[in-house]
Chain A
């Protein structure tokens, strides 16, 4: 990094920072994480000068040490010492934005202010004396419009210039008693630090900032000494040190702006206020929200345009499936490979393993992209923040905050961004609970499971899909209430504070970039995890040991010397099926491994090796559940007369037949419990990885997985055991156990909160 110029981009949330960052760096971006924490770190090379690296700091209101974002930004500015700070300031909200600016100028790093949205200020007839503001802040100001791109280049050039030769000296001062204390603190603690840093440290010590006190390793004597100065100032000002500084900053800014900021119209409602009057209206808020949600899902996952619906997503997915998942791809590749004289196992691997598995997943990409596009649009135009606010009063009853709703909403697309969206929740307890429950929502990859079960056993009834969402929401609500009554999650959700950004027309660049980033990670997974797991599953289902001979089970079964009558009887015995139902695949490695594991699922109604194998491989990726059914049920028949066809109906018939067979005629119920378990149990490895990153703790990750699996098992158990009361063939022991579990759940739901769990805000 020697010789390279580094500039940090800092600013309030919703100040247009992301837009400016995109405009400044274009496509030269690298996304990562800040060390040790889960806040996203974005860096990019400036378009105007490729030698300059711009680091996008998280959106912050202040440099206090309370939120993760603030700590990250602070540490970067103090420890990495960038050559300059480009501070984006929203001119329409000058006072609060400058509050951060006054703190940035104290750091001893050259600051350039990019005054954003000046066009809006001028349009409103207001006037800002930029020259005077620049003088009073002690740093250069460039007027820009990040959205239109005006002045962006100049801002970048000014920042580079400042990095090379600039110096920012804070011009503001605090009142007498505070300055007096600051002078004392500087003298006794930080006089050996570089001069330009002394003021920042002195102010932080005055505020009793724990992290700074720790970092400076002051002796107990010094601490006691400065404590006296702080206490004296506090007594004189009749407030705590932190608030004194905060208040004085605002007072200073207020006075400074008096001569600089001429406001023309006051008291007039802005467009955003007018929209909010309607959108967050007491009566209209929920209906409007319901309509918006309906549109989002109708457009992305609903009925295809081709079938008279409005869904572009489904239409594109159908098209993609016709191309990628269609028979021609597999049959075609098979024909080509066979004409090349490829070995049968290679043909099987490529056509039935890789192409079938990846094709099934890529088909979803259009639906996912449309859904992500919708969610990005809602976020960019400002409605997403309102959703959190509207849902807060409802979620609060289940012990969750309104901010938990956004992760769940995103989770209906994909659990990974869903889990990551939980970052905006400040309270750790609430965040953990949200992370644990978000993946209960049926994500895009679980949709095919729902589709398979609905198609194979319920005649394609849409009620199955509706019930899946209902089950997901119910699982979240029940978990919220139950977990809140346990010791670790006790306590009311943290009080809600959230800035509602002004509504604006979506910035297409940001929306498309956001959509693509999420969509691409989905595609990448299909290209890596799913290719590998498809190969593994194909291998495990195609190979096995038949009567002491290892090889492809299909070909071994053609040899009557190996597959003797006694052997078939033994296999039938092991798999607990009639002799005539023995298939080559029953000897595959997967069947051998899955058969003993299936005992776990017997009390849930699907204790057979195929659904067991599908469920377990669902951990790799939920798409695998269906991809696996495809591989397991799409076998050639023994006589070889029936050609393999990737025909959905044919597989559905086989699935239905199989479910009815192993559940003694309760196929529908077994299929339903299979779906419940797969919807609720631990998510795919990628999402578990996201959970681990966000929890930042092995213990919590395991707890989350155990809870999810346990919850799923109990839910499926209760449905299976009680369901059989109505379909006949109930088991008394099972029913009693199910009722006991149900009783426990109800007890958890209705027992009162403990006294000590009342709201404690001092």
Chain B
């Protein structure tokens, strides 16, 4: 398991676990970041990521991405 920030751009990964505070965790899950789901990093800029999850593009900050384990 490693945090999402370490994933290679363009490579599809499976989410293993979502961490963070209960609020944040639930919010991430509602937006489609669930264990077992696929996630692809599309782009990084200054540590922040743009990822593809389900069929949508979501921008997540570095701190947030560090809580998503793949």
Write the residues of chain A forming the contact surface with B, with a CB cutoff of 8 angstroms: 61-62, 64, 66-67, 92-96, 99, 240, 242-243, 246-247, 250-251, 272-273, 276-277, 280-282, 285, 385-386, 388-390, 392-393, 396, 426, 492, 495-502, 759, 761-762
Contact = CB atoms under 8 A, between A and B. Distances in A.
A393 B48 contact: yes
Interface in B1-51: 18, 20-32, 34-37, 42-48, 50
B43 to A, nearest CB: 5
A393 B60 contact: no
B64 interface: yes
A251 to B, nearest CB: 7
A242 B50 contact: no
Contacts of A390: 45
16 contacts: A66-B23, A93-B56, A242-B22, A246-B26, A246-B34, A250-B34, A276-B57, A285-B45, A390-B45, A392-B48, A392-B61, A393-B46, A499-B56, A500-B56, A500-B57, A762-B20
Main SS class of interface, B: mixed
Contacts of B46: 282, 393
Interface of B: 18, 20-32, 34-37, 42-48, 50, 52, 54-61, 63-64, 67
Nearest to A494: B24
Contacts of A243: 18, 25-26, 29, 35
B64 A498 contact: no
Contact of B36 (A247, A272, A282, A762): A247
Q: Which of A242, A492, A497, A762 has the most CB of B within 10 A?
A: A497
A283 to B, nearest CB: 9
Contact of B54 (A96, A272, A388, A497): A96
B55 A495 contact: no
Given A246-B26, A393-B45, A496 B64 contact: yes
A498 B67 contact: no
Nearest to A251: B36
A383 to B, nearest CB: 13
Given A93-B55, A277-B43, A67 B48 contact: no
Contact of B59 (A92, A94, A251, A497): A497
B45 A280 contact: yes
Nearest to A12: B56
Contacts of B48: 389, 392-393, 496
B22 to A, nearest CB: 7
Given A66-B23, A495-B63, A393 B47 contact: yes
B22 A276 contact: no
A392 B46 CA distance: 9
Nearest to B46: A393
